[in-house]
Structure 1
């Protein structure tokens, strides 16, 4: 009996030509037309204005938290069911994750549980949402769309908006999914995507951030290339994280998800974890 794979790559036939062009032209690092084209296509596909490619989804989460100013003095809300990278990225900032329950119908963060928790446990101080028991700011909320299933976004966004909590939308598993006709990844202040080998869209590895915020996109583009100043200056202008992907990763391959899932196993029991801090 033939076995059906949970996921396997589908090659369009032009991959060798793209890789050869990268080698022939010398564009094998973090620049070149393939990376830029990929970023543009991602923005178009997610209905956002800007796409910034990075080395993996963990780096994208890390940068999203950094760009929004999350520090070691803060706390970040995450669903209790998620891949470890979501929480690792919070740990990279020295911040504390706050785990809230998920819904049975979506496997994502429960907006009702979120609203109830925030109403009961937090208060506004100086324009920031602060957890009363710890005195720490809740600096972000990171809902994750599990296995491509959209979180109930409108009530979640409303609960965060009225308390000035920025939303980082973890759409690592959800490119191609939408909610009320709008692509996932486009609802938060910034969206995070992954192109690991088991995702719906893969470059073998890689990740990206998408946003409508020009200022965030400009800073992210600068940070991912070590904040280098314009030529001919060799200087960097700020703290930065060299997180750009190689150019040969800019030609994505689609994957077949034979069960409708984008992961090869339970979210917290992956056989191999690659978490690269840029």
Structure 2
């Protein structure tokens, strides 16, 4: 049944016995209260080379994460008990949290934007094509890996207006030295801004630099990510750092030095 990977594993199961998969293959945690959909997605991802864990609710998701930390979570929005939005918000507040793709039967723009605003990196409406989900999983994991591999150990810290961003450690510090947690999307955007300071970046450029053209992301998703990034910055200082340039895009105002 699983041509590449092992059987699916729930949080209460013993660690799976690997058959032919390289242990370095990324791990995806599928969280959905629908057992058929859970099985379908899990088997499809497993057949394409991923280690897969499954959970039917948020409580089981947390148990599974405690046993084996995933590289990415496919998370349903509407579940009994704690919902996916609350779980995504909690995950986004954790340092080094895995990437999150949200699934929901609520597919209008408002619901998508809410999902992105609480911390998800991508959002798919149900029913979704497993191949599209696979493409998005690959894109998110590829972006995360490229971010690590491309950063060198010299000059990997950017300083701007007293803030410091370490792009290797994915570590943002405010002017007082306090750590600020960023989601994958927020980190990608801020890194884009510090690498292109004092320059107006259009939404298309931000899509190219930060999110990648291999994902189906619309302009308003960028607006939501920037809104969240601004909120986190403005909680610490009240100086405008990222300006909206009407009909053109966004610009990081302060100069940037690379340490």
**Shared fold, TM over 0.5:** no
TM-score (norm 2): 0.33
Tell which has more relative contact order, 1 or 2 (C-alpha 8 A, sep 6+).
Answer: 1
TM-score (norm 1): 0.32
Identify the structure with the greater helix proportion. 2
